[in-house]
Amino acid sequence: MGTGIVYLVGAGPGDPGLITLKGMECIEKADVIVYDRLASSLLLKNASSNAELIYVGKSPDRHALSQQEINQLLVEKAKLGKTVVRLKGGDPFVFGRGGEEALALFHNDIPFEIVPGVTSAVAAPAYAGIPVTHRTLASSFAVITGNEDPNKKDSSIKWDKIATGLDTVAFVMGMNNLPDICKKMMHYGRKGDTPVAVIEWGTTARQRALTGNLSNIAEKVKERDFKNPAVVVVGEVVGLRDQLKWIERKPLFGKKVLVTRSREQASELSRRILELGGEPVEFPTIEIREPDDYEALDNAIYNISDYKWVIFTSVNGVIYFINRTLMCGKDVRDLKGVSICAIGPKTKEALEKYALRVDYVPCEYRAEQIFEGLKDKLKPEDKVLLPRADIARKALPKALSKIGVQADEVVVYKTVPVAQDADKLVEMLKQGEIHILTFTSSSTVKNFVNLLRAQNLSEILENVTVASIGPVTSATAKELGINVDVEAKEYTIDGLVEAMIGK
């Protein structure tokens, strides 16, 4: 077995969208990912299902592993022939101890590559509306550690030079030493009224920003209880913040939104949340799988010309039906002469990707409205095919049977509960770390309740806004004791997002 390789990858400062293309490629091909506390967990969903994920996060009061242990871990995994990604917050070589890890790999003859990342020293101020340089205000910029190695005999920071020799100075991880930083800057000549900003958890939904000056910022930070991770920016550019604080104007800024959809479907909702300044927390309560038995579905596919209509009630239904059609040696040409109904615009889009023309989309995206729109287009003894989930509602086939139409339900996919530890989620809900809880189907509600198994669910969700994709989902939530605060007017992901914004 040959030696593997280690990629030291900068994950960026928190927003998963700030990962580089090369960094994402490394994550996707990794056998092992050794990741930090400050690397977004959303990046890990891009890893292979077979990848080994190892958390080595460090916080001020607790280290999962020491730096020496992390170095040894990288060496050991690479010697097993693995492709290893060391996923680090920010940039590996900007106060990320990436240099130490690279040297450990070099001394053990382990091949390695460095994949730079966006450093928080620039990104956090940018997300707070502070450019570190500006043509008329700042032509020089420096990044200084705010947490210099306490074991060093003498400080290597030239305070007499940086205090007045630079326009903008950014201190990284400087909360504990902020009073001393401000005193030294003023002692060596920087004016006490020099603008200062502190950005905590920059580029994430937890971002907070505070402004002041060198003479008062330390006291303000103490009053507001700002902690690391944080970036301190000293300089006249801080004065631009009121005009340029772009992300704070987004409608979901500062909100953590729980996404309960299946892992395969979560991306669309998570992307929309990120676009609007929020932070998605993915906690899938269901998983989409193939059906246990294909006999009924295959029979319908081979006899598709017998049907007057095929009614698709979800994007998943489309994908699984078409995939199975191809596996049976058939294709979309066999649907010629069969009318197609899609429950909503997203399902319609999914069908059109396969060059299938949709004949009917109801104005209200629910089974009852499908029946209302089709009942005059059908006559007794017509056959209708319903390729859907194993737990789909029976309202539509029952209504069709009442007018003499044969509605054949065939299972094209099934939804199963996801087995995972809910203790961490319960604690986040109790601590008020989740602001909005989203439900996109009745099954997500049912499995959420089953996973939590909490007797005091109403108490846990007391300060959480519950958002539902539509009346059927809302009814299920209410039956299970969950009060729905907002409901989408259009029963789509976009409609759900609009409802959250309007709250």
List, by residue number, the catalytic residues: 36, 58, 173
Three-state secondary-structure class, residue 448: helix
Question: CA torsion angle for 34, 38, 41, 46 (degrees, to 10)?
Answer: -60
- Nearest-angstrom CA–CA distance, 160 and 186: 10
Q: Which residues contact 206 (CB under 8 A, 6 or more apart)?
A: 200, 254, 256, 279
Q: What totals of helices (H) and strands (E) does the chain contain, helices first? A: 19, 22
Is there a contact between 438 and 260 (Cβ–Cβ < 8 Å)?
Answer: yes
10 Å CB burial of residue 360 (0-12, 13-18, 19+) is middle
C-alpha closest to that of 270 among 35, 424, 440: 440
Structure tokens at 427: 């604690």
How does 401-435 read in b/e, with b if 16+ C-beta sit within 10 Å? eeeebbbbbbbbbbbeeeeeebeebbeebeeeebb
DSSP-derived letter for residue 356 is P
Q: Which residue has the tokens 């490394």?
A: 26
* Residue 494, number of CB atoms within 10 A of its CB: 14
Half-sphere exposure of 331 (CA within 13 A, CB side): 3
DSSP-derived letter for residue 214 is T
C-alpha closest to that of 204 among 347, 39, 430, 415: 39
DSSP-derived letter for residue 192 is T
DSSP 18-77: GS-HHHHHHHHH-SEEEE-TTS-GGGGGGS-TT-EEEE--EETTEESS-HHHHHHHHHHH
C-alpha closest to that of 356 among 370, 339, 378, 376: 339
Q: Rounded to the nearest 5 degrees, what angle is found at the Cα of 97, between the Cα atoms of 94 and 101?
A: 130
